Amino acid sequence: MYVDWEVANKLKGYGQNVFTVPTSATQDDWLTHSYKLKTLNVNNGATFTLTHNAVLEVENLNANNATINLGSKRVWIDSKDGENVKSRLYGGNVESSSYGDGKAYGVGEDMEFNQNLTQGYSNTIENVRFKGDLNLVKSRANLTSMEFVRNIKADNMSPITLSNSTFQGDVQTQGTLTLHSSLVHGKINTHTLNANNTTFIVDVDLASKQAKNVIEASASVSGNANILMLNLLQTPTDTSVDNILLASLKDTNKTLTQNYFDTPNVKYGFSVYKPNVTFNRDKDNKAQWQLSKLEKTNSYFDVSDNNPAINQGNGLFNQVLLSYLIEWNNIQKRMGELRDNPSAYGAWIRTFGGSNSDGSYKR
């Protein structure tokens, strides 16, 4: 409901302040708006902020000596929202506060736009999504509580920070990549990596015997409590290659251990695959995590039964079998009824679709 300033002032006098401000920074019922651009350039010390409840799709966001904030609690409230366009002031008085009536003049000549922006901070960051390529030169990028799809490319003077975010794409940076409590699905090639409580999804192509998106850091690494989750693109069968590289991190001081990454089991159909991930260092002091072949089984995995999936499958099969037996009894009953049909011919048809026709039957 729109209330103009005159009515709002009167209501304010009666203590009805809820009508005097169009929106509040801490309100919960924000609308999500979507924007689509071809190219967005942010240069010369400027800051671009994509706040909460906003979706931006852009082919290229190019930042040069700038700051990019994708996901932020900071918002701006316009106290003149809804009455921004009015007639111009003449002698300090408003000729008309209406738009389009007999007293208003031509738009662009005698009309003017006014706003009164106040900065505030919302309680949470929600519904922030970005799709596009982010290109950074001497710029800083902060991604907070948001979803990012596509790629980031940055020079050595452009630090990147992801916090509580989902990232799907590739990162190629000559600078520092910092990850906190995030989910990353893509190829990582960075100079310096600082990752904490972050899950990396690595696609393993067993047909080509390689990982599609290896995690790489060329200078230094810090952090802990990370997960290396394997996404198998095929059923593991061929093991003609002894080792498949998953991650290669520079470790000059030899401080990294295999526990930098935890590797959970992979559930595939009715089986559970425990990956045989080995840890070693090469001659260049790079700590490497590899999916290695087990000599005793000639497999990359220790395989066991996926009991929950098996039990669910057995339950489904038993229900189908029970329904079939019920329908078999039903058809025998219906065929018996046809014998007493005085007509010369009769037919009874039942199409079986996984449920029985006895409405009174309960599992």
Q: Give residue-wise pLDDT tens across range 34-88.
A: 999 999 999 999 999 998 889 999 999 999 999 999 998 887 777 777 677 776 6
Q: Give yes or no: residues 289 and 332 share one domain.
A: no
In angstroms, the CA 321 to CA 313 distance is 12
Q: Are residues 128 and 52 in the same domain?
A: yes
- State whether 263 and 235 are in the same domain: yes
Q: 195 and 217 in contact (C-beta within 8 Å)?
A: no
Report if residue 232 sits inside a domain: yes
Give the structural domain span for 59.
Answer: 28-76+121-305
Number of H helices, E strands in the chain: 2, 31
Residue 6 falls within a domain, yes or no?
A: no
Instruction: Please check whether residue 164 lies inside any domain of the structure.
Output: yes
Residue 350 has pLDDT above 70, yes or no: no
Using alpha carbons, list the distances in angstroms from residue 162 to 178, 256, 340: 6, 22, 77
Within this chain, do residues 267 and 319 fall inside the same structural domain, yes or no? no
Q: What is the pTM of this model?
A: 0.73
Identify which of 34, 39, 40, 76 has the alpha carbon closest to the alpha carbon of residue 56: 34
Alpha-carbon distances, residue 53 vs 4, 26, 165 (angstroms): 26, 13, 15
Q: Which two tokens stand for residue 114?
A: 């006014």
Same domain, 245 and 332: no
In this structure, what CATH number is given to the domain that contains residue 129? 2.160.20
Question: Could you report the per-residue pLDDT of 107-145, keeping only the tens digit for each?
Answer: 455 677 778 777 777 777 888 999 999 999 999 999 999
Contact yes or no for 209/200 (Cβ under 8 A) = no
d(CA 80, CA 147): 32
Do 246 and 191 reside in the same domain of the chain? yes
Encode pLDDT of 84-115 as tens digits: 777 665 444 444 444 444 444 444 556 777 78
Give CA–CA dist 129/228, Å, rounded: 24
Q: Does a structural domain hold residue 180?
A: yes
Based on the fold, state whether residues 147 and 192 are members of the same structural domain.
Answer: yes
If one counts the domains in the chain, the total is: 2
Say if 250 falls within a structural domain.
yes
Residue 95 lies in a domain: no
User: Is the same domain home to 270 and 327?
Assistant: no
Residue 63 lies in a domain: yes
Q: What is the mean pLDDT of residues 258-286?
A: 89
pLDDT score for 278: 96
**Spatial separation of the C-alpha atoms in residues 237 and 53, rounded to whole Å:** 45
What pLDDT sits at residue 3? Answer: 55
As a whole number, mean pLDDT of residues 239-257 equals 91
Model pLDDT, residue 119: 79
Residue 153 pLDDT > 80: yes
Does 172 lie in the same domain as 148? Answer: yes
- 132 domain residue, yes or no: yes
